[in-house]
Structure 1
Amino acid sequence: MVSRLMILAFISLFASIITPADAQQNSITFTSSNPDLQTAFSRAKEMALHYKGKPEDPVGPWYESALPPRYAFCMRDVAHQAIPAEALGLTDANKNMFTLFAKNISESKDWCSYWEINRYGKPAPEDYRNDTAFWYNLNANFDIMNACWKLYLWTGDKDYISHPTFKYFHDKSASDYINRWVLQPDSLLTRPAHPNAGAAYNDEDAFHRARGLPSYSEGVPNMKMGIDLVAAIYRGLLSYAAILKENGKTAESKKIEQEAALYQTHIDKHWWDEKENLYNTFYSNKGAFGKNEGETFLFWFSALSDSARKRHTIEHLLNNTWNVENMSYFPYIFYQNGYWDEAAKYMLLLTDPKTERREYPEVSYGVILGFVNGLMGIQPDARYNRVETIYKANNNESCFIENVPLLGTNISVKHQPGSSEFTNNGERKVIWRAQFYGSHNNLVANGRTQKAVVGKDASGKMVSYTDVSVDPQKKVVVSVK
């Protein structure tokens, strides 16, 4: 493990080549009646923007999303950091980085892209020698495809789903990539360990051995399949189905959606350990299941259907020790699954100066995601020009987030117990779906009573909402009647 002192030294060196702190002006801010939360947000924002690249870097706009000091971005980290990067105003960087990943997919690499690209616009030498020898985690294509769908929903930028470069990436990832790496649903436990090994394959060469790792968990030898890869394929294909549908290809979308369901069924059928009440996380080349990392991604990719199994898995995450990369997903995961207090505790922990390796770039972005999408419940949907909000807190605190860029506008949201305020700071009308926990017959929008729609959120909690059109430069307050 890289020591905290080494990371701090790397960051000190990195600070000399990145954009200075004045890049934080006119960007997202957060205030709260809870001073600890406010401090956590400030620390996360400062650290995240610390990693923004300089305009003159040859690669173009970018932000650090790999182990410092490589001055690079890797596919897994970027897929995780993309939405908080949007909230931080790094839209140009996202577009550039995702375009580079998409356009570098190639048959000579068996439909992989470059796992990691550096600030010079080159595949990072730490992970790439040539097209036959490089490091690559097979989850990556599906994670990027899912992130592209999320970015479209957040920004409304259709390039992510319909530009020829992205279309080619999505189409090849959902077909030739799966075939080349033997990732069909009925082959997951029988596939060869290295399906694309050539005659020159050398198991002692890490760039041969790791060319197509079947998991994000890199410390398990002789792995045939990781449960996180199965989850990634499931979610990636569902995102691809949504992309096809949005592009008017309804029949193709339905077919891919049915194919995706087979991977979720596979998880339920083969990976649960009844005795331990836990999921196995890998399957070895010796034909045995085992447990290591991987559970985090079952939630990142929303790949679980059984509520009892989800609960057991969350409790296992909460009651064990994990590295900081895994923990960086926890604020999002716990907010999404109804563990709000635990999510908030992790946001404080991950921004505590005493926490080991908190400087890893993914950590600060994970915390920002916890604030924006988690605590404040902000979720735009470009399909309907709509922004959902819901406050996820078990106390009487008030929280106010300002200058969140999305859907071609800029919004601010203030939550208090029983009341939410939405300000459209931009020049484009949006629909605000104001949501509140609990079952309510009516909600009050700017003094006018409106019939509420009642349903449930992803964690099964009762939710009531109403939709309100918010013009540019206007403010609306909705409260529980």
Structure 2
Amino acid sequence: MILLTIAFYGFSFASAQVVAVNFTSSDKDLERAFNWAKETALNYRGADTDPAGPWYEAALPSRYAFCMRDASHQCIGAEILGMGRENLNMFTLFAQNISAAKNWCSYWEINKHGRPAPEDYRNDKEFWYNLPANFDVLFATWRLYKWTGNKYYLNHPSFVLFQKKTVKEYIDTWVLSADSLLTRPAHLHTPIPYNENDYFHSCRGLPSYSEGIPNMKTGIDLIAAIYRGLQTYSDILSYKGQHKEAKLYAMKADHYRERLEADWWNKNQGHYYLYYSSEGKFVKDGPVPYLLWFDALKDTSRIKRHMKQIASAVSNVETTSYFPYLFYKNGEWDQARRYLLYLSDPTTPRREYPEVSFGVIDGIVQGLMGISPDAQTNTISTLFRSNSKGSASLNSLPVLQTIIKVTHNNERQTIICNSGKKSIKWKALFMGNYPHAIINGIAQASKKETNAQGKVMSWVLAEVKPGKQITVNVKP
């Protein structure tokens, strides 16, 4: 067992001690949702003095622990709230604890004592593990790099090893090649003697995040996760200048997505299957958010149908906590807002689950406010996703090693202020076809692009130096 805490390698965490991020809006219901989520999420922050090192809860609250799926979902919300050190420590622990003895799994859940949580782990042969987790963590570290600019997530030996083992040995060991997904055994690497009633045996390598389904060969979310994991690795290789190998992994990723669309879509009934059983049958069951989370769908008509099915289904709060950001991202802004209000409603069952408050933060910042950083280009994009004709402002947001304030006065005017010490580029996006944008009073021709829903957006690029404020507005 090699659980360790880490040093922080000199990276600057601008808001690690005092979290000042705040949100105001003409939509007071959303403002109340943010305030509740901020207070709640910060209460899940662990103590730096705990044996695990800096951490926050990303599991059932009673466990004082963080699991791979929850942390991968909560991590950007945590960055928004100033928990950068916590993310760096937690994801390093996940990466460090991958091992051949566990068939290239890590620890699914680690508690504040710096140990694999006993609720999910007995020994290296008997433990609970959901196979999408490695790919989800790989995707999360890429998003953390893009949000923070911290190259540690890409270059530290622990992460490099995790990347390489996940895209090769892990896939081979668990028989997860694109052409074996329907023929692989339902259970692999099980303890001997095997006890079906011991979930440390039967759940050692669940091929899905959907739990409690016996004899599942493959879940559709696992295919989406592998696709995103391989595409993420391709992105990392491109970042490192290894373009030939990056192209190879992008092609491998596309092969999984092609199989997903060809094999898993029920054309007659217009839905994706949830899993493939040991009996050789595709099974529908309820829709899950992971096809959208891993951005595995490209057919806009299927995306719309899938989202409609999600909206009409009843999901638990863990699953629902993904919805605000995903529905904003995919053009269903009003439905996204309804999910934000549902998750923050005091009458919502189990809203105290940590993932809920972090999901609300993420839904407002990345979703409603449309804040999307990219460390590769040192660019922060903004887009106000609101149909209310109102306003919203986010202040003291830590991103790309600086602190910014973003104010959408309406759908045609946005102001950004850089109060940190590092210059950034700002891509100010607006829905619609606007020939010109006015940057601090000076007109400039705007550029155009089409979003995933086929709608035209106009944008301009501006440099925002430390201590400077820029206003951009567009006119019909």
**TM-score class normalised by the smaller sequence:** over 0.9
CA–CA separation in structure 2 for the residues paired with 1:389 and 1:250: 29
1:389 aligned partner: 382
Moved more, 90-99 or 446-455: 446-455
Match of 2:145 among 147, 152, 163: 152
CA–CA separation in structure 2 for the residues paired with 1:189 and 1:230: 11
Question: What is the DSSP-based 3-state SS (H/G/I as helix, E as strand, rest coil) of the residue aligned with 1:427?
Answer: coil
- One-letter amino acid of the counterpart of residue 235, structure 1: R
Match of 1:183 among 158, 176, 183: 176
Q: Structure 2 unaligned segments of length 5 or more: list them.
A: 1-15
Match of 1:242 among 235, 239, 249: 235
Match of 2:216 among 203, 217, 223: 223
1:422 aligned partner: 416
For residues 103-155 of structure 1, what are the alpha-carbon distances to aligned partners after superposition, in whole Å with 9 as ceiling and x for unaligned?
00000000000000000000000000000000000000000000011001000
Question: What is the DSSP-based 3-state SS (H/G/I as helix, E as strand, rest coil) of the residue aligned with 2:62?
Answer: coil
- One-letter amino acid of the counterpart of residue 219, structure 2: G
Match of 1:456 among 440, 446, 450: 450
User: How much has 1:219 moved relative to structure 2?
Assistant: 2.2
Question: What is the DSSP-based 3-state SS (H/G/I as helix, E as strand, rest coil) of the residue aligned with 2:185?
Answer: coil
- One-letter amino acid of the counterpart of residue 459, structure 2: Y
- One-letter amino acid of the counterpart of residue 120, structure 1: H
- One-letter amino acid of the counterpart of residue 439, structure 1: N
2:322 aligned partner: 329
- One-letter amino acid of the counterpart of residue 182, structure 1: V
Distance 1:282 1:97, change over 3 A: same
1:468 aligned partner: 462
User: How much has 1:200 moved relative to structure 2?
Assistant: 2.6
1:312-391 matched pairs, under 5 angstroms: 312-391=305-384
C-alpha contact 2:18 2:82 (8 A) present in aligned 1: no
For residues 83-117 of structure 1, what are the alpha-carbon distances to aligned partners after superposition, in whole Å with 9 as ceiling and x for unaligned?
11000000000000000000000000000000000
Match of 2:130 among 137, 143, 150: 137
CA–CA separation in structure 2 for the residues paired with 1:62 and 1:450: 46
CA–CA separation in structure 2 for the residues paired with 1:408 and 1:293: 41
CA–CA separation in structure 2 for the residues paired with 1:127 and 1:400: 41
Moved more, 275-284 or 71-80: 275-284
Match of 1:447 among 428, 441, 446: 441
Match of 2:297 among 298, 301, 304: 304
1:12 aligned partner: none
C-alpha contact 2:126 2:191 (8 A) present in aligned 1: no
User: How much has 1:247 moved relative to structure 2?
Assistant: 1.2
C-alpha contact 1:279 1:295 (8 A) present in aligned 2: no
1:115 aligned partner: 108
- One-letter amino acid of the counterpart of residue 390, structure 1: L
Aligned pairs, number: 459
Q: Tell me if 1:172 matches 2:165.
A: yes
C-alpha contact 1:24 1:49 (8 A) present in aligned 2: no
1:437 aligned partner: 431
Match of 2:275 among 279, 282, 305: 282
CA–CA separation in structure 2 for the residues paired with 1:55 and 1:423: 31
CA–CA separation in structure 1 for the residues paired with 2:23 and 2:198: 48
TM-score w.r.t. length of structure 2: 0.95
2:22 aligned partner: 29
User: How much has 1:305 moved relative to structure 2?
Assistant: 1.5
Question: What is the DSSP-based 3-state SS (H/G/I as helix, E as strand, rest coil) of the residue aligned with 1:432?
Answer: strand
C-alpha contact 1:28 1:87 (8 A) present in aligned 2: yes
C-alpha contact 2:191 2:201 (8 A) present in aligned 1: no
CA–CA separation in structure 1 for the residues paired with 2:71 and 2:19: 23
Q: Tell me if 1:232 matches 2:225.
A: yes
User: How much has 1:308 moved relative to structure 2?
Assistant: 1.1
For residues 271-323 of structure 1, what are the alpha-carbon distances to aligned partners after superposition, in whole Å with 9 as ceiling and x for unaligned?
01122211101000110111234531000011112111111110001111111
For residues 199-222 of structure 1, what are the alpha-carbon distances to aligned partners after superposition, in whole Å with 9 as ceiling and x for unaligned?
432222210110000000002111
CA–CA separation in structure 2 for the residues paired with 1:295 and 1:347: 18
Question: What is the DSSP-based 3-state SS (H/G/I as helix, E as strand, rest coil) of the residue aligned with 2:305?
Answer: helix
- One-letter amino acid of the counterpart of residue 424, structure 1: N
C-alpha contact 2:233 2:246 (8 A) present in aligned 1: yes
C-alpha contact 2:287 2:306 (8 A) present in aligned 1: no
- One-letter amino acid of the counterpart of residue 190, structure 1: T
C-alpha contact 2:432 2:455 (8 A) present in aligned 1: yes
- One-letter amino acid of the counterpart of residue 187, structure 1: S
C-alpha contact 2:72 2:137 (8 A) present in aligned 1: yes
**Cα RMSD after superposing both structures:** 1.1
C-alpha contact 1:33 1:399 (8 A) present in aligned 2: yes
CA–CA separation in structure 2 for the residues paired with 1:317 and 1:212: 26
C-alpha contact 1:30 1:38 (8 A) present in aligned 2: yes
1:8 aligned partner: none
C-alpha contact 1:400 1:414 (8 A) present in aligned 2: yes
- One-letter amino acid of the counterpart of residue 409, structure 1: T
- One-letter amino acid of the counterpart of residue 303, structure 2: K
CA–CA separation in structure 2 for the residues paired with 1:308 and 1:414: 33
User: How much has 1:56 moved relative to structure 2?
Assistant: 1.5
- One-letter amino acid of the counterpart of residue 472, structure 2: V
C-alpha contact 1:155 1:407 (8 A) present in aligned 2: yes
- One-letter amino acid of the counterpart of residue 394, structure 1: N
1:404 aligned partner: 397
Q: Tell me if 1:92 matches 2:93.
A: no
CA–CA separation in structure 1 for the residues paired with 2:327 and 2:116: 34
- One-letter amino acid of the counterpart of residue 420, structure 1: T
User: How much has 1:460 moved relative to structure 2?
Assistant: 2.4
Question: What is the DSSP-based 3-state SS (H/G/I as helix, E as strand, rest coil) of the residue aligned with 1:185?
Answer: coil
2:245 aligned partner: 252
Q: Structure 1 unaligned segments of length 5 or more: list them.
A: 1-22
C-alpha contact 2:26 2:391 (8 A) present in aligned 1: yes
User: How much has 1:26 moved relative to structure 2?
Assistant: 4.1
1:14 aligned partner: none
C-alpha contact 1:340 1:392 (8 A) present in aligned 2: yes
1:16 aligned partner: none
1:10 aligned partner: none
Percent identity (aligned): 51
Moved more, 131-140 or 215-224: 215-224
For residues 32-77 of structure 1, what are the alpha-carbon distances to aligned partners after superposition, in whole Å with 9 as ceiling and x for unaligned?
1111111010011111111000122111100000012000000000
